[in-house]
Amino acid sequence: MTKIKVRELVFEKFITSEEIDAAVTKVADRINRDYVGKNPLLLAILNGAFIFASDLMRKITIPCEISFVKYASYSGTLTTSKVKELIGVNEDIEGRHIIVVEDIVDTGITMDKLLTDIHGKNPLDVKVACFCFKAEAFQKKFKIDYLGLVIPNDFIVGYGLDYDGYGRNFPEIYKLVK
C-alpha cells in the first residue's frame, strides 16, 4: 500500500484517481439530467472543494455558473463546533437554483451554517453536491442530493482535502494511518 507523509503524519492510499473520476462523473451526470434548462449557480466552498468543483464543472454540459464562499471549522485533524464565515455569498441568489459544492461532509456543522445563510437570501431551491460523506460522523439533518462517495470516519488528505493546509495537491485520497 502506497504511503505518504504530510507534515508529521503518515497516510496510506485510500481512493484512487480512477475511483475519484467515476464519482465525479456520477455527480455531474445527475446534475446534467436534473438541471436541463435551469442555469444553476454552483457555490463551491473554499478551500477544499476547489478541485472537486473544477472537475465537476468540466463534466457539466448544461449552462451554469460558479462562485465561491469560504467557511472554516477545522483545526488540525479535528473539526470544531464553531464555524467562521471568511468569504460570504456575493451574488444575488434570490430566485436562483443553487447547488452547493463541498469536498467533504462529516459532522455537517459547516454545511448547516452555510445552508441557513443561503436560505436567508431567498433562492428558488438549494441542493448539496458532496464528494465524500462520513455518515458515521454526521450530526445534522440536511439532505445531500448529489453524493460521490460514502466513506468511514477516517481523516483524509488529497484531492483538495488537507491537513493544516498541506496535502491538497495529491491526485488520490489518502487516509491517516492509526
Q: Which positions are annotated as active-site residues?
A: 106
Report residue 99 as a C-alpha cell: 447547488
Report residue 165 as a C-alpha cell: 493546509
If phi > 0 it is left, if psi is from -120 to 50 it is alpha, else beta; for residue 114 that is alpha
d(CA 61, CA 156): 30
CB-based contacts of 75, cutoff 8 Å, min separation 6: none
Q: Cβ of 148: how many Cβ atoms within 10 Å?
A: 25
Contact 72, 86 (CB under 8 A): yes
User: How many residues are there in the chain?
Assistant: 178
Greatest CA separation found in the chain?
49
